[in-house]
Structure 1
Amino acid sequence: MKAMVRNEKLFVFALMLIFGLFSADLPFSSAQTIFNVLDYGAKADGKSDDSNAFSAAWKAACSAATQNPTVVVPSSKDFLVYPLTFQGPCKSSNISFQVIGTINAPSSPSVWKGRDARRWLIFHGVTGLLITGNGTFNGHGSEWWDLSCTHRPNMTGCATVVPMALSIISCKQSTISDIHSIDSAKFHVVVNQSSDILVQNMHVTAPENSPNTDGINVQFSQNVLVNNSVIATGDDCVSIGELSSNITVSYITCGPGHGVSIGSLGRFGNSVKVEDIHVKKVNFKGTTNGVRIKTWQIGLGYARKISFEHITLESVQNPIYIDQNYCDINGTRGNCEAKTTGVHISEVTYDDIVGTSSSKEAINLNCSQSFACTGIKLSNIKIESDKSGQQVVSECANTHGTNSGVVQPKSCLQP
């Protein structure tokens, strides 16, 4: 066990070197300048609006000439912060946002009237950002969930726009580490239009029935590592969206939730390019899906060079799942008529996937008639039913590839 932990640390360290996320100037060196939000007027009583204090502390740190300036959110304190953008670029090549206390979003959706309800906290255009500190971002999403059109589609006046908690947009060479994120109204952490990003040692939680509360969402980004985290939410533990490449998800405990998903892709009939996605060393516990790729019928483009390796399953409903026929009919999904369009899925490897399925179909590869899945590889698969005496099966449509080693249930791939 000690050797495994040591190897994980070496693995992360090596990727940090590759991504350029490690600096000889440690973020908490004696040369740093501290910008404590209390010094900028934060009340820290959990009731007063501390947004101006956080904004002022960030602007002072971002404009500081010293190396490694640090905004500090101190321990044993509760801060109420309204929607806020921490804007870059900053003067220093590295800047830290150290969260030791708790940052709270407004709990009532009514407070957001007249504000942009899409996002809560945004870090935009920052290079060398480090968000860390063992503190908590509390999205207070329960009232939003009750209003969500996803949760209550027939409710008059349901909310179509719901805030995501923490967004990293147009950032480079940045790290989010050791943070707790709880009860976001929508996605907890979003990495968007960014590159060379490390997300590690995260603890992300929301109730199992909370709608659209993805743990970590990556989209329009390159060179991202999501590593060594525990994610238990009401939606995808990790979701990977369009125009993303060189994404690695590893050493994740996932559940409850909807598993690790690539997609959905091509929802608006657009052309997507997703490639070099690697998911490994993930333990799924009671999730609705394990490893999933989902694309809309009207989409274009491709998703390719994808690997799922060294996966363990504990009572997972859809352990291995491709749905290339995603569609929306009168607000519901499924029963789709065949289209001549589609996102081409190819070069997907499933290797060393073991455990139990809570449904009969342990492998379900539902590909398009127009754009069949090609280059699919199944190797060393052993999935059994979590119910004594029951068998599981594979179901394939328009799926071509090869098998090696033990494949259980029996493969349904076409040559």
Structure 2
Amino acid sequence: MKEMFTLLLILGLATSLGAWPAFDEFNVFDYGASGVGRTDDSKAFKYAWRNACNAETHSAKVIVPEEGTFLLKPLMFHGPCKPQFIHFIISGTIVASGSPKTWDGLDSSQWIAFKNVTGLNMYGSGLLEGHGIHWWNQSCRYHPDREDCTKLAPTVLKFISCNGGTLSNIYIVNSPQTHVLISDSKGFNVDNVMIQSPQDSPNTDGIHIHSSHIIKITNSIIGSGDDCISIGDYSSNIDISNIECGPGHGISIGSLGKDGRIVLVENVHIRDSTFKGTTNGARIKTWQVGRGNIRHVIFENLVFDSVDNPIIIDQNYCDVRGACKEKKSGVKISDVTYKNIYGTSSSSVAITLNCSRSVPCSGISMENINLASVTPGKFLLANCINVQGTEVGVNPGSCLN
């Protein structure tokens, strides 16, 4: 009786103060999700998110259970939210519709997006399946003659203005376009994710960073039809390490400066990573007509296995490759370090630094680089144009001396 009286007293006080004990777990099954993978579960996710975002608690959890497969239409989860932290725990499988018609009248650039959410932590042992093949089959890149070809296709996960967030322990496959976008965010960490799409899938970057700062990407395996990781405009303090990249186009800064835009990317550190069968390794790519700066970049402790262009700067990018007329404009590339880089090149030119005559690359440092051909005994070249810098222990060389 005494225990019952104490419980009733506590509940009575909570009721009188308008503060019942916080409910902090929101399972999508409790909101009507079927979990069979064939009926639309979008409303259940929407309502679970709404209640989690509005919960009067320090930390809320949206639960996507292991025993379910959940079909979702395009969804935007909005903040700001009341809890300091929201954990979006994906243990089951989330699948997209295989038909591009699902996006008719909607934003075709996104599937699952989070906006203005601080303290978001997405993790779990689950799978996100983008079913991108139908988008790839009508891509303008591969099917330019189709009247209904598509230039823009959904990104599986978008994090827009999400500060202090994390993405970890998630498996993402077959995105129609970019797999993960981090945009206008600060203090966002990605760790131990696996991203896979076919080598010939168009524009399927693994992770793209845009206009974001203090971003860490670590301990992840990424294979796609485009860059494993790409860094876009107005991004700074980017730390990328322990990445297994391949297939794909490597880890790239750019392309930047299209349509004469002003560029600022700085303090980027890419290290302790491997590249297997990629078209590029450590790449910086800028449009001729761009302006601004890329500076304070380090590529360090990298291993290349059968990479077409292990080290490449292309400051003369334009619409028609190989037919770019020289411009007086250009993005200034400075203070770039390449250090402790080893492996094999599948092309004859292992190092290409193609810089602008009007805005040459400066402060380029190369140290302890040893690249060999995948073909035993084949001689490799290094080609540097309009570059100011130093090199020590570089093979093939010399390039900067």
Q: Which of the five TM-score ranges fits, normalised by the shorter chain?
A: over 0.9
Distance 1:160 1:190 in 2: 17
Correspondent of 2:192 among 198, 201, 212: 201
Whether contact under 8 Å (1:32, 1:70) holds in the other structure is: no
2:176 to 157, 178, 185: 185
**Residues 350-365 of structure 1: matches in 2 within 5 Å?**
350-365=338-353
Are 2:164 and 1:173 equivalent residues in the alignment?
A: yes
> Cα deviations across residues 91-118 of structure 1 (Å, max 9, x unaligned)?
0111110000111111111121111101
Q: State the alpha-carbon separation in 2 of the partners of residues 158 and 72 from structure 1.
A: 37
User: Aligned-pair distance for 1:32?
Assistant: 7.0
2:135 to 137, 144, 166: 144
Contact 1:105 1:139 in 2 (8 A): yes
Q: How does 1:201-280 map to 2 (within 5 A)?
A: 201-280=192-271
Q: Could you tell me how far apart the structure 2 residues matched to 1:155 and 1:374 are?
A: 44
Which residue, out of 309, 316, 324, partners 1:318? 309
Which residue identity does 1:96 align to in structure 2? H
Cα distance, 1:150 vs structure 2: 1.7
Given that 2:141 and 2:202 are in contact with CA atoms closer than 8 Å, whether structure 1 keeps it comes out as yes
CA distance in 1, matches of 2:121, 2:97: 25
Shift of 1:217: 0.6
Amino acid at match of 1:340: K
Which residue of the partner structure matches residue 131 of structure 1?
122
Shift of 1:157: 2.1
**In structure 1, what is the Cα distance between the partners aligned to 2:347 and 2:395?**
14
Could you say what secondary structure the match of 2:400 adopts? coil
Amino acid at match of 1:409: P
Write the distance in 2 (CA, Å) between the matches of 1:65 and 1:46. Answer: 32
Letter in 1 for 2:79: G
Judge conservation of contact 1:123–1:169 (CA < 8 Å) in 2: yes
Whole-Å separation in 2 of the counterparts to 1:226 and 1:140: 25
What is the DSSP-based 3-state SS (H/G/I as helix, E as strand, rest coil) of the residue aligned with 1:147?
Answer: coil
- Distance in 2, matches of 1:43 and 1:151, equals 37
- Equivalent position to 1:411, from 395, 398, 401: 398
**Separation in 2, partners of 1:76, 1:240:** 36
C-alpha displacement at 1:269, in angstroms? 1.1
> What RMSD in Å do the two structures reach over aligned CA positions?
1.2
Does 2:376 correspond to 1:385?
no
1:46 aligns with 2:37: yes
Same amino acid, percent of matched pairs: 49
Q: Is the 8 A contact 2:23 2:55 kept in 1?
A: no
| Separation (CA, whole Å) in 2 of partners of 1:411 and 1:114 | 56
Q: Which one of the candidate residues 135, 145, 152 is aligned to 1:154?
A: 145
Distance 1:409 1:155 in 2: 44
| CA distance 1:109–1:366, change in 2 (3 Å) | same
What's the TM-score once normalised by structure 2's chain length? 0.93
Q: 1:140 is aligned with what amino acid?
A: H
TM-score (norm 1): 0.90
8 A contact 1:119–1:167 mirrored in 2: yes
Cα offset for 1:410? 0.9
Quote the Cα distance in structure 1 between the aligned partners of 2:141 and 2:191: 29
Letter in 2 for 1:345: I
Match among 371, 377, 380 for residue 359 of structure 2: 371
Structure 2 equivalent of residue 109 of structure 1: 100
**In 2, Cα distance between the equivalents of 1:194 and 1:32?**
29
8 A Cα contact 1:275 1:303, kept in partner: yes
User: What is the distance in 1 between the residues matched to 2:371 and 2:67?
Assistant: 46
Structure 2 counterpart of 1:291, from 269, 282, 285: 282
- SS of equivalent to 1:58: helix
Offset of residue 154 of structure 1: 3.0
Amino acid across the alignment from 1:393: L
Q: Which residue of 1 aligns with 2:325?
A: 337
Number of positions where the alignment pairs a residue of Structure 1 with one of Structure 2 = 381
For residues 234 and 411 of structure 1, the distance between their equivalents in structure 2, rounded to whole angstroms, comes to 33
AA aligned opposite 2:103: W
3-state SS in 1 of match to 2:164 = strand
Deviations 1:35-85 (A, max 9, x none): 000100111111111111100000000000112110000003111111111
Is the contact between residue 275 and residue 305 of structure 2 (CA under 8 Å) also seen in structure 1?
A: yes
Give the SS at the match of 2:102: helix
AA at the equivalent of 1:161: L
What secondary structure, in the 3-state scheme, does the structure 2 residue paired with 1:143 have?
A: helix
Distance 1:334 1:100 in 2: 48
| Structure 1 unaligned spans of 5+ | 1-30
How far apart, in 2, do the equivalents of 1:137 and 1:334 lie?
A: 39
